[in-house]
Every structure is written in C-alpha cells, then in structure tokens.
Amino acid sequence: MARRGSARLTDAAKKRRQDKQVRLTQAVREAQKEYVTKATSIAVEHGRSLEWVVGQLHLGGRRLTKKRAASPWSTFIGRQLRKLNQGKSKGDKWSISKFLEEDKEELQEAYEQLTEAEKATLKEEGERSRKERAVLPMRKSEKSVQKDFHETFKALANEVHGGLQRTQGEAIMFGVRGEVTQYGAPEIYVSPKAKAFLAKSFGLTPEQFALRLEAFVLADLGNDHGSRAKKSMVDDQSTARRAIQDGHDSLLFKTKGIKPGSLKMNYRNYEGKVVEEHKIELRGWPLPGPVQNPGSLKRQELTTLLRALENQTCRWEKMTDVELAARIQHNHERLTRGEEVYIPRKARKAPSVPANAVAGPSSTPSPPPSA
C-alpha cells in the first residue's frame, strides 16, 4: 500500500502559520514582562524579596480548573441539616452522610416541591457563602508577626541607607514592638554622625535609646487621652518589670560584659545580689521602702513607678567605690537594728527515707538475745 503523504502548504498558509507563532511568542513575552513588573511591585510594597514573591506566584503543576457553580440542592441540604442540629451539643449533632442516609427520600420530595425562584435563591445563597469562606482572615502567629516586622524594617533600612549614600545625609531609625504580648528585639538603623549625636546629647548608645523608646511605648506613657486605664494591671506590671530588667541588662553589659537576658533581676535579695555584688543600683525609686517587684504594687503605686521610669527620675546607674562602701556600711547598720537586708538562701531539704526501707548496718550495737 502506497504511503499517504500530507498536502504541501501554500505560501499564504505558511505565512499565516508564521504570523500566528510570532503573535503567540510576543504575547508570552509581554505576559512575562507584566509578571516580573507585578512581582517586583509586590516585593517592594510588602518588604519581601523578589525570589519569595515569585515562589508564591509559581503555579508549578497545579491544575487550574473552573469551579462548578454552587448547587441549590447542596444549599438546601445544608439549611435543613442546620435546622436539625440547632440546639444540640457537639456529640449529638447529625453528620451530613447520616442525614442523607436516613431522610434522603423525604428531602428529595421536599426539594422537588420548590419553585424555580426558590431554587435560584438557594443558588445565590450558596455562591455568597462560598465567597465568604474564601476570604476568611488568615491567623498570624507571633513568630510570623516578628519575622514580618524584622523583614519590613530591614527593607526600609536598606532603602534609607541607599538614599543616604546618594545624598550624603544622616538618619536615625528605630523600630520597637507596640504591645507587651509581642516578641522581638528592637530594630535599629543609625548613621555614624547620628550615633555620635545620641552619645553627646543623651549619653546613650543606640541600643539603650531603643530600649527606652520601647519602655515608653509599652507603658503607653505618650498617650494623654487616658487610654492607659484600658490596660489591665497585669500589663502594667509586665511593662514595669520589662523596663527595669532592660535597664539592668544594659548597664551590666556595659560595665561587666554580661550578656543581656542571662541574669534575672533579683528583687528578693536586691541589696546583696545586685547592689553589692555588681556595684549598680536603681536610683530614684519613687515609692516608700526598698526596691520591690512591680507585681506586688497597687495600682496607684504602679502608675507612679511607670511615670518615674519613663521620665528617667528612676534609672539604673553605676556606683563609685565610695558610694558602694557607704551603702555596705548602711546595710550593716540596718542589720544591727534587726532589719532584714540579706535574704538567706533556703537550706536544701534532707533526703526523705521511705518507711519501708531496709535498715543498713548501724553503729548502735543491737541488744543481746534474751536467755
């Protein structure tokens, strides 16, 4: 059998095929350009890298199929099931499979009695419910919020740095958390001359300045409209403790190189373990009596302490040798008056001996056996 050959294309047909291929290639290239432009815009607007955005937009092997329209029958079944389960506890509610298995015939009869207008209404209700489910807000974890904050500040700092390099400018930029429940260290960008300005004008390093800003924000001390009353007392206690701990850590790092967070503030034995051991003190304590944990303060006392911490009338400072010697002598005088200055460490409990333990060899001689 002779092999059947294909008809030769005419010049006009070849030209049409070539033009079609050229148009397809141009359309693909234009789409690629728009894709890159849009991805770049998203990356800049949201502080993400271009690679991350492209990865999120990549469809991979995902099949793009058109979803079916909402079924009035499915909406009808869902409505009847909700009526049946209304008022029932979680363990007593009917599942949709059991509901259809038991009452499918009755449900079909009731559905067939509906008018076309009623079925159209059910279809619209189903479409509306589907759209509402598609836009449910995504829950952000604390870690994702912290990462988003860090990456946003980093992108902003890079942009500011580039602008300063072009314009020979100077800048200060801090980013701190806005709520006590959030996590994450302060973000800092300070140009060289701006850093010198902080040291000369305030006597602070950028890290210390950021900690003060964070304490100010968390205490809500910049709000003059009375919104501090909305915060719970627990939040204010946490804010005061954090401000005291941050100042404690900052000064120990500056004077002794102790890593922040490695040594907890000792309220119980403040004189012995903080003042005398590390040669620092919390000066300007605004309340009667010794330094104490903010968790033991009343509302008015806590407010007074937060104000003092904010305006720096209560702050951590390093002691001189003369001040330390006078402080130790004063503490000893308080001891002679019977005051409790140094809290002794609790004695370790002796190991308990079980009641049914077998007695071992004893140094006490056993009584002689009776005759």
**Looking at residue 50, what is its pLDDT?**
79
Q: Any residues with CB less than 8 A from the CB of 159 and at least 6 apart, and which?
A: none
The percentage of the chain sitting over the pLDDT mark of 90, rounded to a whole number, equals: 15
Cα(271)–Cα(239) distance, integer angstroms: 23
Confidence (pLDDT) at 340: 81
pLDDT digit string (tens) for 216-231? Answer: 887 765 554 444 444 5
DSSP 237: H
Confidence of residue 322 (pLDDT cuts 50, 70, 90): very high
253/261 Cα distance (integer angstroms): 10
Sign of CA dihedral 228, 234, 235, 239: positive
Q: How many CB atoms lie within 10 A of CB 321?
A: 8
Helix axes 11-46, 50-57, angle to 10 degrees: 120
The two counts, helices (H) then strands (E), for the chain are 13, 4
Residue 290's CB is within 10 A of a number of other CB atoms, namely 13
Residue burial 44-78, b: 16+ Cβ < 10 Å; e: rest: eeebbeeeebeeeeeeeeeeeeeeeebebbebbbe
Total-model pTM: 0.37
* 86 pLDDT above the threshold of 50: yes
Length of the chain (residues): 371
What distance in Å separates the CA atoms of residue 119 and residue 121, rounded to the nearest whole number?
Answer: 5
280/251 Cα distance (integer angstroms): 8
Element (DSSP H or E) covering residue 265: none
Give dist(CA 98, CA 78) in Å, integer.
13
pLDDT of residue 279: 92
pLDDT band at 82 (very low <50, low <70, confident <90, very high): confident
Q: What is the pLDDT of residues 36-64, one digit of tens each?
A: 888 888 888 888 887 788 777 765 444 44
Q: Residue written as tokens 């404690």?
A: 248
